[in-house]
Structure 1
Amino acid sequence: MNQKQGVILYGPPASGKDTVTAALSDLDPRYAQFARLKVGAGKATGYRMGTPEQLHELEAACDVVYANSRYGNTYAIDRPGVDAAFATGVPVVHLGQVDGVRALVDGYPADWSAVLLWCSREATEQRSVGRGDSDTAARLAAWDATREDLDAHPSMAWDLTIDTTEASPQDAARLIDQLLTQRAGAASA
């Protein structure tokens, strides 16, 4: 069986999810960031901007795999969006909640590789300030929430853990690609 493969990158803000995804795409263009549906305001890059009505329609059709609210917005992983992402390659889904990882793994059948990207709170602050974020304080609060989330779910099993203060984005991408290659080989054996 040739099961669809996807990548979940979990980690606090500024842990390198965007940067590692770009390195994955450079390594193999089949890897592409999954654009979650975003209802709200602010940064649109990397998202499919939607309306509250669209979100309600997806919810009514039971097509929301996971949704969360942060920074005053709602972010959703929707079944039609994931279907479209798999149709074009290997989706890379960014998440910051263990419940979201579990919801996706349990709610959308595929061979998901869950990767924990980690960096210190200080690194998050430095990276956030360095890239000009206007909401660094909110990102630090999200870092704290991510740490609490991990502590609250000690049984969460990660397929791979990468400290992005030690591994370059290219090294992280190679490790993730190797993981998927190994899993595909094991599944076909």
Structure 2
Amino acid sequence: MTKKQGVILYGPPASGKDTVTTALNKFDSKYVQFTRLKVGTGKAASYRMVTAKQLRELDAAGDVVYANTRYGNTYAIDRPGVDAAFAAGVPVVHLGQVDGIRALVDGYPADWSVVLLWCPREVTEQRSTGRGDSDTAARLAAWDATRDDLDTHPGMVWDLTVDTTAAAPQDAARLIDQLLAQRAGAATA
């Protein structure tokens, strides 16, 4: 039996995770963005908002696969949410920490394709400013943290690396889809 396939997009802020996910969904509607849990304030539209108590209850039940704090908020990947995302198609999970990748790959059995989306720091600044982010300084600090994270984990292996300053979102989507097709073919061979 073939394992369920999922995609992890890793990269600094404004590296194109949302844009590439939108392109993937347009390429094939089976690709669906995993909606993380969020405890905190600010943007709520692309999160499932929960209280700190609700997150603690999920964690106590063993249903938190990974949680991290950034921008003064807590973000989490929960087992029931990943189950629902797989039921809807091929989940695309956005992460900015190598530890999160490892926690998801080790903590939720599936055939995860891990993709590094990258852009230089000045591009993160330009994109963040261009889209009207009010916290560009925090996003640049997160870019620095992502760079440090990569330097701390030099052995991290990527199934695909995409420079989002050189590849159009639809090209990145096509490459990711090809990667998953190759992995599915290899699994059934």
Specify the code of the residue in structure 2 equivalent to 1:47: Y
The share of aligned pairs that are identical, in percent, is: 81
Deviation at 1:53, TM superposition (A): 1.4
Counterpart amino acid of residue 56 in structure 1: R
1:155 equivalent to 2:155? Answer yes
SS in 2 for 1:133: coil
What SS is found at the alignment partner of 1:114? strand
Q: Provide the rounded CA distance (Å) in 1 between the counterparts of 2:84 and 2:38.
A: 17
Amino acid at match of 1:67: A
Shift of 1:54: 1.0
1:7-46 alignment runs, 5 A limit: 7-46=7-46
Structure 2, unaligned runs of 5 or more: none
Q: Deviations over 1:135-184 (max 9, x none)?
A: 00000000000000000000000000000000000000000000000000
1:15-62: CA deviation from partner (whole Å, max 9, x where unpaired): 000000000000000101100000101001221111111101101101
For these two proteins, the number of residue pairs brought into alignment is 189
Mapped to 1, the partners of 2:43 and 2:170 lie a distance apart of 25
Q: Which runs of 4+ in 1 moved over 4 A?
A: none
- SS for the counterpart of 2:66 is strand
Letter in 2 for 1:48: R
Alignment pair present for 1:64 and 2:64: yes
Query: In the aligned structure 1, how far is the partner of 2:184 from the partner of 2:68?
Result: 31
State the alpha-carbon separation in 1 of the partners of residues 45 and 160 from structure 2. Answer: 27
Measure the CA separation in 2 of the matches of 1:65 and 1:147.
23
CA distance in 1, matches of 2:71, 2:152: 22
User: Do 1:3 and 1:110's aligned partners in 2 also have CA atoms closer than 8 Å?
Assistant: yes
Paired amino acid for 2:136: T
Do the aligned partners of 1:8 and 1:113 also contact (CA within 8 Å) in 2?
yes
Whole-angstrom distance in 1 between the partners of 2:152 and 2:169: 28
- State how far apart, in whole Å, the 1-side matches of 2:80 and 2:101 are: 18
Asked if the contact 1:33/1:46 (under 8 Å) is kept, the reply is no
Letter aligned with residue 133 of structure 2:
D
Q: Which residue of 2 aligns with 1:146?
A: 146
TM-superposed CA distance for 1:2, in Å, is: 2.0
How far did residue 131 of structure 1 move? 0.2
Aligned to 1:109: 109
Q: What TM-score results when the alignment is normalised by the length of structure 1?
A: 0.99
| CA distance in structure 2 between the partners assigned to 1:173 and 1:46 by the alignment | 20
RMSD, matched Cα: 0.5
SS of structure 1 residue aligned to 2:125: helix
Amino acid at match of 1:50: V
1:179 and 2:160 correspond: no
